[in-house]
Structure 1
Amino acid sequence: MNDTRPNIIFIMSDDHAAHAMSCYDSRINQTPNLDRIANEGTRFDNCFCTNSICAPSRATILTGLYNHINGVKTLRDSLDNRITTFPSLLQKAGYQTSIIGKWHLGHGPENDPAGFDHWSIFPGQGSYFDPTFIENGVEKKVSGYVTDVVTDLSIDWMNGRDREKPFLLLCHHKAPHRHWLVDEKHAHLYEDTDIPEPPTFDDDYSNRSRAAAAARMTIERDMNEKDYKAPLPAGLTERELKSWKYQRYIKDYLRCIASIDDNVGRILDYLDEEGLTDNTIVIYTSDQGFFLGDHGWYDKRFMYEESLRMPFIVRYPKEIKPGSTVTQIAVNVDFAPTLLEYAGVPVPEEMQGYSLRPLLSGETPGNWRTAMYYRYWMHLAQHNVCAHYGIRTDRYKLIYYYGEALGATGAIDESWTPEWELFDLESDPMELNNVHANPAYSEVVKQLHEHLDSLRREIRDLD
């Protein structure tokens, strides 16, 4: 092949928390094929999403824009396919482009994927078994387990590619999204094992904002039979029932991830067999984090660490040192500029992220960000999580629960009294102690408020 630009395979799962990957020192899981990417490439330890919910995160990844700019603030918003995305720019630059799996950004002439030579996507969330796809506008049903099917279709597309051109493949899995349906191969994994409960499993939400206690995503109170897939056993205390539900949930969650890990291994083996490994960038990530019983919760949405943090591992043998780590703050708004730079395509000025290529090469630009900005818009919709925004630095996290729908699609028009939270992540990494009103932090509060205001102006979130 005369064109020596790198191929790009971007593998994304749904709701896969970093602390459910052994390359992130998981207490509860082993992921040997994902670890292979990290061991042969690099692991980002502080990669965060700008909005911890599926559609908004995906829109940010594609466009390199924050949600108030790309228009996808909530699950009810669709992405206007006239907006410039990194796949559309790569396609114009001569890349073959394909997306297979979850899209979740709307359907129809104005919302179907643009910038792809080939697209085969789920309508909505997709199904775990015998999934339906919309392939270049035509609906079809494919027999099998969804994670296997997405991988099969991805390998089939790579087999049929023009081998004289570089390619971009977005391989987007449904798993491990709720309700965590498992294939037969992994159905008995962890059957005789108790998964450790997280240290904050019995969090009582004291010394936090009203939002934490009001959220309806607790394992104890809010899970239902679709989640744990069996009648509640009799004769258990409330605490014992909570543990029983957790074991049912977390084992199915991890079983779904085991299938992803196996199928990532299939992709990596394919690259080896085809002689593509050295010139292919392989990325594995998830659209956001997830609470794995942390704070007694499942789901995401909050700016707390388990929800905010994204797994992000990258392998590119030509440039990236094996077994390396990046500790600087990265954000999903950076993904588009990064891939464009690797492909030699100019990054549009309107994109709001920064290329991660220097960090991946072991260099830190002198002006690299010292904080990231987050905003969740779906006020009280689904799981009753209050709308909020905030800033995270290396040490501190400042969160403002502004308590208004402000016209966000699908948000509940009910006003709450605004509240602030401040966490010192050095002394309180589990975010149990709100120190915003503590006089000892008065100067830190002042500096963070100023930094937050400055960052909001910089990214033009000025409502």
Structure 2
Amino acid sequence: MRTVVVLMDTLRRDHLSCYNPDTACIAPNIARFAEESCRFDGHFVGSMPCMPARRDFFCGRTNFLERSWGPIEIEDVTLPKVLFERGGVRSHMITDHAHYFRIGGENYCQQFNTYEFFRGQESDPWVSLIDDPWQPERYFGDVKRQYQCNRTRITCEGEFSSVKCFEAARRWVDENEGAEDFFLMVETFDPHEPFNVPQDYLDLYGDDYDGPFFELPKYHRRDEETDAAMAHLHHRYEALITMNDRHFGEFIDRLKAAGMYDDTLIILTTDHGYCFGEREFIGKNYMPAYNEIANIPLIVHFPGGAHAGESRSQLTQNIDLMPTILDYQDVEIPETVMGRSLRAVVEKNEPIHDYALYGTFGCAVNVTDGRYTYFRGGRDQSKCFEYTTSLTTIRDWLGKGRGDQIEAGRFLPRVPYPVYRVPSGPEALVKDGGTYANEDHLFDLETDPGQTVEVEDEAVLSRMEALLVRGMREAQAPEDQFLRLGLDV
């Protein structure tokens, strides 16, 4: 069996016509792929943002209740390793996601038999310039020196690292034409910010903005950004989707030409969404986990074209992708996996979950039953601890300078190793849970899909709180999390 996963970072589902026929975003190849595939409407994130989401996918279980951004841990049982060690299935990753190669992103690519990395995204320490590169005098958001250095080598479409990823994927198909058993993961950082895109794609959106430079927004509540600037930023994001769509389509066409499409499991998804001024928020992480961020696309081409053009509304999450791939590859699913195979959803139209639990470490813990969403904010952040066997986090050492506060012991019953217990500190991705990200909210998605009107119903609140507690128990959340959230259990 052949499996291909395409993960485009920060891809909002409402920008894809298969989810939103009224979208202005131009992505005809994804639309064509969706017609030949099954669309999942109730698909939610688990852990956020980038690396926590990938640990969910690699391990089939949620990360965010135990720790923030971090590496693959010593106890982790991962999809590529299981495929090879139990099924003899070789794997290859193609990526331009620089976080895999920074502190805090260790051991992800190394799970694969082989991998390729294309340089230059975001502040990837790639291009060295002693003198400062060009930087705009007037701008909204931020301008990062290292990315301005990197973009001196990104002067045409073919030099964008995401384009190189799809080019490498096409080359890989040529070199492995006719292969039967493999797992190929093609991952592009685009359409993640900075929203640098060739002008030809921006022109498709009639963008005539002439204000301050704006490609890299700061994550904050909108203040000085003008309506014109926000429209321009959104156009840049849409244009990046359009560029990715073109090269995704060429990759799919290459699979078809090689006779490696029809009988292949092909998954298209993302790690999370993004806010472009909805409720005045820009970015992600620091605000409540609204559906613009949490309800993500999942489009799956099943072998033989089964269920093409169909959709499913049952709740699913990215932790379900590992057991799904193992199921279709006929490899035993490890006991450590919390997710469940999509086979019952697709073939029998049956639910596999009655809730989805999701969030960012240290922020609100969120749960949906498909009808309601409940965000439960922290009450006592002093009860927020990270549990890990590896003291690294995003671009930094976890607990650095606070060694006297770190304990080691067998704190996690499911982990057969001693772990560090580290009080959440200044290196956390969202400091103290953020101003907005630890608020309580309760929404009715059926009557209020935009999540703008709070539900005032004690019976619903009580039921969703009980569902949250159950979900945390089933996820084997540390007891500290219940204390942090003020849950009487």
Q: Look up the match of 1:175.
A: 190
TM-score, structure 2 as length reference: 0.74
SS at match of 1:335: helix
2:220 aligns with 217
Equivalent in the alignment of 1:345:
331
1:201 is aligned to none
- Number of aligned positions between the proteins: 394
CA RMSD of aligned residues (A): 3.0
CA distance in structure 1 between the partners assigned to 2:13 and 2:435 by the alignment: 32
User: Residues 362, 183 of structure 1: CA spacing in aligned structure 2 closer, same or farther, 3 A cutoff?
Assistant: farther
| Long gaps (5+) in structure 1 | 133-140, 195-214, 222-240, 380-386
Q: CA distance change for structure 1 residues 67 and 414 in 2, over 3 Å: closer, same or farther?
A: closer
Structure 2 distance, partners of 1:360, 1:319, is: 12
Q: Which amino acid in the other structure matches residue 163 of structure 2?
A: D
Partner of 2:245: 261
In the TM superposition, residue 217 of structure 1 has moved relative to its aligned partner by 2.4
Decide whether the 8 Å contact of 2:26 with 2:238 is kept in 1.
no
Q: How has the CA–CA distance of structure 1 residues 416 and 266 changed in structure 2, closer, same or farther, with 3 Å as cutoff?
A: closer
Residue 8 (structure 2) aligns with = 13
- Distance (Å, rounded) in 2 between the aligned partners of 1:128 and 1:39: 36
- CA shift, 1:444, in A, is 1.2
CA pair 81-430 structure 1, distance change in 2 beyond 3 A = same
Secondary structure of 1:344's match? coil
Task: Tell me the distance in 1 between the aligned counterparts of 2:435 and 2:255.
Answer: 52
What pairs up with 1:91-110 in 2 under 5 angstroms?
91-92=84-85, 93-103=87-97, 104-106=99-101
- Say whether the 8 Å CA contact 1:94–1:165 is kept in structure 2: no
Change (3 A) 1:360 1:461: same
Alignment partners' CA distance in 1, 2:166 and 2:127: 13
One of 411, 419, 427 as aligned partner of 2:447: 427
Partners of 2:96 and 2:68 in 1: CA distance = 16
Which 5+ residue runs of structure 2 have no aligned equivalent? 129-152, 210-217, 386-422, 481-489
Report if aligned partners of 1:64, 1:333 keep a CA contact under 8 Å in 2. Answer: yes
Counterpart of 1:459, as a letter, is A
Q: Which residue is 2:256 aligned to?
A: 272
Partner of 2:369: 393
Partner of 1:118: 114
**2:469 is the alignment partner of 1:453:** yes
Cα distance in 1, alignment partners of residues 254 and 433 from structure 2: 52
Residues 63-462 of structure 1 correspond to what in structure 2 (within 5 A)? 63-68=59-64, 73-75=67-69, 77-80=70-73, 83-92=76-85, 93-103=87-97, 104-106=99-101, 111=107, 113-121=109-117, 125=121, 144-161=159-176, 163-191=178-206, 217-221=220-224, 242-301=226-285, 302-318=288-304, 320-365=306-351, 368-377=352-361, 379=362, 387-402=363-378, 404=381, 405-406=384-385, 407-408=423-424, 410-411=427-428, 412-413=431-432, 419-435=439-455, 438=456, 441-462=457-478
TM-score by length of 1: 0.78
The alpha carbon displacement at 1:189 in A equals 1.9
- Compute the displacement of 1:446 (Å): 1.4
Alpha carbons of 1:408 and 1:17: their partners in 2 closer, same or farther (altered >3 Å)?
farther
- Secondary structure (helix, strand or coil) at the match of 2:466 reads helix
Is the 8 Å Cα contact of residues 173 and 255 (structure 2) preserved in structure 1?
A: no
In structure 1, the partner of 2:389 is none
Q: 1:60 to 1:160 in 2, by over 3 A?
A: same
SS at match of 2:357: strand
* SS at 1:423 equivalent: strand
Shift of the 158–28 alpha-carbon distance from structure 1 to 2, 3 Å rule, reads: same
The one-letter amino acid of 1:344's match is D
Q: C-alpha deviations, 1:299-329, integer Å up to 9, x for none?
A: 2233211110111001124262111001000
Q: Which amino acid aligns with 1:120?
A: E
Q: What CA distance in whole angstroms lies between the structure 1 residues aligned with 2:81 and 2:48?
A: 25
Aligned in 2, Cα 1:95/1:298: closer, same or farther, shift over 3 Å?
A: same
Partner Cα separation in structure 1 for residue 190 and residue 106 of structure 2: 27
Which moved further from structure 2: 88-97 or 346-355?
88-97
Offset from partner CA, 1:99-146 (integer Å, 9 cap, x none) = 1114534558962523322111357955799999xxxxxxxx997112
Structure 1 residue 408, shift from structure 2 partner: 3.7
